[in-house]
């Protein structure tokens, strides 16, 4: 079993990753700016923030995997990318880094444009999407000795469309996963399943992948 830290562990993506990791018997640390009243039984909760990386690195000594689920939106816009870069530089190279990004960096077809570059992508979401893409680009520039993975959820991923745990999903590689009607969706619990599958049985060392139904 691994010791897994989830930064943003009380948010939508983070809480489902924490839940799935505990379900599978891992040692789980949830890191967030405030400790919630409702907690996943079996997880350890600590206060911490990406904006104080030195303290965060000290708190995470001994972990095997660190997954960042903090989005670059609202007061965090423009701050997540440099913080993740500082975190990656500060953690031992034995620690695998995971990042949950957004759908914007996914390709809409093999060899095709990114979702963010299509006409239908809303302008209001572009700053957050660009920052998520820049985090991926930074990871790709890290030394070969640093292992990481980056997850693009489906386009319809979010608290507004929670869904249930089915235990299954499709891995689209670089391409956005869509169903027969062209819809792109994955539930919060199944995003957790996909992340834990990658942690337990790595298929994307130093790589990204998309998930959906």
Query: Which CATH superfamily does the domain covering 3-212 fall into?
Result: NAD(P)-binding Rossmann-like Domain (3.40.50.720)
pLDDT value for 33 = 92
CA–CA distance from 147 to each of 5, 51, 97 (Å)?
16, 23, 7
**Would the pLDDT of 38 be above 90?**
no
pLDDT value for 34 = 92
pLDDT value for 36 = 86
- Cα 38 to Cα 30: distance, rounded to the nearest angstrom: 12
Phi, psi for residue 200 in degrees, rounded to 5: -75, -40
Domain boundaries, the chain: 3-212
pLDDT value for 213 = 97
* Residues 81-117: tens digit of each pLDDT: 999 999 999 999 999 999 999 999 999 999 989 999 9
* Residues 184-194: tens digit of each pLDDT: 999 999 999 99
Mean pLDDT, the chain, integer = 96
pLDDT value for 91 = 98
* Residues 115-164: tens digit of each pLDDT: 999 999 999 999 999 999 999 999 999 999 999 999 999 999 999 989 99
pLDDT value for 37 = 86
The share of the chain scoring above pLDDT 90, in percent, equals 97
pLDDT value for 154 = 97
The share of the chain scoring above pLDDT 70, in percent, equals 100
pTM: 0.97
């Amino acid at each position: 079993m691994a010791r897994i830290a989830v930064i943003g562990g009380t948010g939508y993506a983070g809480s489902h990753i924490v839940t799935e990791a505990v379900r599978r018997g891992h040692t789980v640390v949830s890191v967030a700016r405030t400790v919630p009243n409702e907690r996943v039984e079996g997880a350890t909760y600590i206060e911490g923030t990406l904006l104080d990386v030195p303290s965060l690195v000290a708190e995470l000594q001994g972990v095997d995997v660190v997954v960042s689920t903090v989005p670059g939106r609202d007061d965090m816009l423009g701050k997540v990318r440099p913080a993740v870069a500082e975190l990656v530089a500060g953690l031992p190279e034995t620690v695998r880094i995971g990042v949950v990004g957004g759908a914007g960096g996914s390709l809409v077809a093999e060899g095709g444009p990114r979702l963010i570059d299509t006409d239908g992508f809303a302008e209001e979401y572009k700053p957050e999407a660009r920052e998520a893409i820049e985090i991926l680009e930074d990871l790709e520039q890290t030394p070969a000795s640093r292992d990481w993975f980056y997850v693009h959820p489906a386009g319809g991923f979010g608290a507004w469309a929670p869904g249930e745990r089915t235990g299954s999903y499709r891995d689209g590689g670089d391409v956005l996963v869509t169903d027969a009607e062209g819809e792109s969706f994955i539930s919060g619990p199944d995003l957790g399943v996909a992340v834990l599958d990658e942690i337990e049985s790595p298929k994307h060392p130093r790589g990204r992948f998309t998930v959906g139904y």
